[in-house]
Amino acid sequence: MNQRKINRLLQELTPEIRAYLFPGMTSEEPYREEPPMVGSASPEVMAMYDMMSETDYDAAPKPARRRERKSLFRKRAGSADAIEYPEAEALDPRTEKILSEIRRMQEKYGVSIEELEIILGYTVKLSPLHISRSGKLILSEYDGTEVKMPNISKALYFLYLRHPEGLRYKDIADHKEELLHLYSSITGQDDPQEIEKSIDLLVDPFGNALNVNSSRIKTAFRNVMSDRIARFYYIEGAAGDTKKVPLDRDLVIWEY
């Protein structure tokens, strides 16, 4: 890509796109004539790789390299040019708009996300996750972005944050008392019976509440950042296996 084309592309990178693809990176970040080859990820990212299974590692964000480029979007079968969204989920309208604009730019300039990383000399850096006294989830180094989700989803997420070793869904019911404590501290409800009813529905082995709330957690993070980075923050794991949040717990800061 020549310099003129690069400059045009950079001019079209709105603050919203920058914040979604490269959270924590200022919009004033200059273009470098000789973008550095990123030979290794940041210490935080390498720590994440050490915690993840081989399958997770293959899918995790990697440092950008010139010969190993993969688009954020997949191509539809039977079409060399058409591009589709990564996973069909209920993303909010703002995120859908951002992804649509990124897709337009990829088609217009024929550039992958990894090529953008090279152009901008960017390496993935994970933000600490602050959990406030009221239960808000704040990404402190990503402009204080709040990750919003229902309180019952937060209770499940907090349980996984407190168990870095991971948990299988079938074992979640064994942590009912812990879930009751977590949910009671953030729900704002005063009725103990209603609180217990909500947790009973969540841990019901014959229901689908765990899958639904895990999906809500994933979507909440994908609404504020690219999945390349979000996957370090949400619950991951194959069906029937132990699921966990890959994020290094040194980056989780509890304020209550």
List per-residue pLDDT tens for the chain, 256 residues long: 677 888 888 888 888 988 898 888 754 544 444 433 333 344 444 444 444 444 443 444 444 333 333 333 333 333 333 333 445 467 889 999 999 998 888 888 888 877 877 777 776 789 999 999 999 999 999 999 999 999 999 999 999 999 999 999 999 999 999 999 999 999 988 899 999 999 999 999 889 999 999 999 999 999 999 998 999 999 999 988 999 999 999 999 998 6
The CA-based angle 237-102-137, given to 5 degrees, is 45
Q: According to the model, what pLDDT value does residue 122 have?
A: 72
What torsion do the CA atoms of 189, 194, 197, 199 make, to the nearest 10 degrees?
10
Give the pLDDT confidence score for residue 89 in this predicted structure: 61
CA atoms within 13 A on the CB side of 85: 15
CATH 1.10.10 domain span(s) along the chain: 129-254
- What pLDDT does 176 receive? 97
- Residue 202 · residue 208 · CB < 8 Å: no
Give the pLDDT confidence score for residue 83 in this predicted structure.
32
Give me the pLDDT at residue 12, please.
Answer: 87
Phi then psi dihedrals of residue 64, to 5 deg = -70, 135
The CATH code for residues 129-254 is: 1.10.10
Other CB atoms within 10 Å distance of the CB of residue 22: 25
pLDDT at 60: 46
